[in-house]
Structure 1
Amino acid sequence: MSTFQPVSVARLYRVIANQIKDKIRGGNYQSGERLPAERELAEMLQVSRPSVREALIALEIEGWVDVRVGSGVYVTGPESRLSLNESNAPGAPLLLDIGAADLLQARLLVEPHCAELAARHATDAQLLAMEEATMALPGSEQPFKHNDRLHLLIAEACGNVALASTVQHLWTLSENSAIFNKLNQHFVYGEVWEVAHNEHVPLLRALKKRQPAAARRAMREHLLGISSRLGLDASEDKNM
């Protein structure tokens, strides 16, 4: 009696990365050579630029290319190539092969609703803690800590333990996503944190004024802003 074999659905950025990798292996692109720009690769492959960007970041993590912001993407020597699992140092947190766009899309489905509920249910003490986290971000040497705290405080204040736990899990996945971390290294810097703070302010205002619809909208716009700054497409209908 024959049995079925497990089916694996490949992620688009991984399919793209494998095609580029095959071209490098085949000698189409030599060590030190610059790859075509994201736009050109997207046209060649008939895919979106955000998908190409994630593929290139995945290849950088594995050592196939070197992404130089403002200059281009260059093929590296074979001695630097690793699989994603091999790139995890002993004792370090496991870096997961989860796409940044998928993570942001999941957050877009959950966090705006949490903000809407928090505008209804947050206690005065929780709102004060949110304000402290918001105001501590500008000029901080560790802005990500205040950013993370604000988002998790909003989730905790939503009044739904399951939703709060879901947000916490998504943040844990983001912290352990190799692609998300590499994108942050390349594209998140001082000025970007100022923009994020400016998006947090109307979100905090809506929460303090107990305006659920405005809080939901502000959170959604903030998450779409993050997606845009990372050069991704996290819109909820991107896979539909």
Structure 2
Amino acid sequence: MRHTVLTTAALITCALVNTAHADPKTPGTHTGYSTVELLNKGIPNDLNMVSVADLKKELAGKPPMAVGFDIDDTSLFSSPVFYRGKQEFSPNGYSYLKNQKFWDKANCGWDKFSMPKHIAEQLIAMHQKRGDDIYFITGRTGSKCNFTTKYLQKTFHIKNMHDVMFAGSSHDVYTKTPYIKKHDIKIYYGDADGDIISARQAGAEGIRVMRAANSSYKPVPKNGIYGERVLKNSQY
């Protein structure tokens, strides 16, 4: 996922314009509900919710497999990194997201200000106990350092750590799909619409992690808008 820090007025505008829309490349098939809506109104009956315990039971007895994780708003709450980047590199706009200097700061040290999400801790612990291979695939622009790889390994106590894969982003294609397919990933966890579609294009299941309501990346996506399974209590 990619971050955008918006003003209050812009947030309201985005909420009004985007509440019924999924990723522009792939129309939604279901109603979908943002994390904000779920916190305010509760979980509707038509949302396909699943817990870590459910997944553990479902996978019991199955051989080890490869699973993948998005980073921002899935594995880490990294809004502090993107907020700092905007203030330092483009306080009046969002050009910092195209600035390699920002990405080098984010990938090579600033992630120490990113907080691990509790749901990621639970999922990774469950998958490691099963012997599954864990990969991280992000839509960030890459840098010539491995700080984020080391930070994720230490934070989540990963035994067999692979280097983070920086897929970058595109308005035309789902950049994570080739990586998911290459590593034969069976389940990919992500908060963005593109994570769900990327997984499906690669023949994997995309499971939605709810983006925190206070994330800097707006608008908050509609969980379940593609009929995908959504992780319970995954907003933090």
TM-score (structure 2 length as normaliser):
0.23
Larger Rg: 1 or 2?
1
Structure with greater proportional helix content: 1
